[in-house]
Amino acid sequence: METALALNRNMVGALHELGSCKLFTGSINEVIPLVEQAIRLSPRDPGVGWRYLQIGSVHLLQLRIDEAVIWLERARNANLAYPGIHAWFASAFGLKGETKHAAAELAEARKLSGDGRYSSVTRLRAVRHWGVPKTRALFEATYFAGLRKAGMPEE
C-alpha cells in the first residue's frame, strides 16, 4: 500500500487498506489519520461507510466509546448493509452499560449474518484474523468484552 501511495498519494483505496494494515500490525494510532485523508479525498465514494466503520472501530478499541458510536452511526447512515456494524454497536452499547440496546444490536447482527459467526466469542474469533498480539489484546479488552456484556456467550 505504501508503494501504491508513493506512486499516487491520492489513491483512496490504498489509504483505507493501509489503515487496515496499520491496525492489524499494531500501529493503531496511525489508522484514523489515513482513513480521514481517504474521506477528505473522496467524501462521496460509495465505500465511505467502510471508512466510517474503520474509524468507529478504532475509537472503540481505544475506549472512546461515544466517538465510536458517532462514527458507527455515520457508517449506518451511509447505507452500510453489513451485519458486523451491528456487532460493533452491540459492543459499544455493552461497554456503555446499555444492555437492552446492546442485545438488540447483537440479535440484528446474528439475524443478518446467517453464518453463526455471532453465536459465540469462540466462533467469532475463529472466522477472521485479529492481528498481532498487541492488536488482539485490544480486541479482547474492548470489542469482545462489549460483546460479552451484550449477551454473547464464550462458547
Pair 35, 103 in one domain: no
pLDDT tens for the chain, residues 1 to 155: 999 999 999 899 999 999 999 999 999 999 999 999 999 999 999 999 999 999 999 999 999 999 999 999 999 999 778 999 999 999 999 999 999 999 999 999 999 999 999 999 999 999 999 999 999 999 999 999 999 999 999 99
DSSP 115: S
Res 95: pLDDT = 98
Enclosing domain of residue 110 = 82-155
- C-alpha to C-alpha distances, 112 to 62, 98, 107, nearest whole angstrom: 27, 21, 9
Q: Of 23, 46, 80, which marks where a domain is finished?
A: 80
Pair 136, 92 in one domain: yes
- Kindly give the residue spans of alpha helices, DSSP state H, lying in 8-144: 12-24, 31-41, 48-61, 65-77, 83-96, 99-113, 121-126, 133-139
Pair 74, 107 in one domain: no
Can you give the CATH number for the domain in which 16 is found?
1.25.40.10
Asked if residue 54 lies in contact with residue 20, where contact means CB atoms within 8 angstroms, the answer is yes
- Joined together, the cell numbers standing for residue 132 give 498481532
What's the domain count of the chain?
2
Pair 1, 76 in one domain: yes
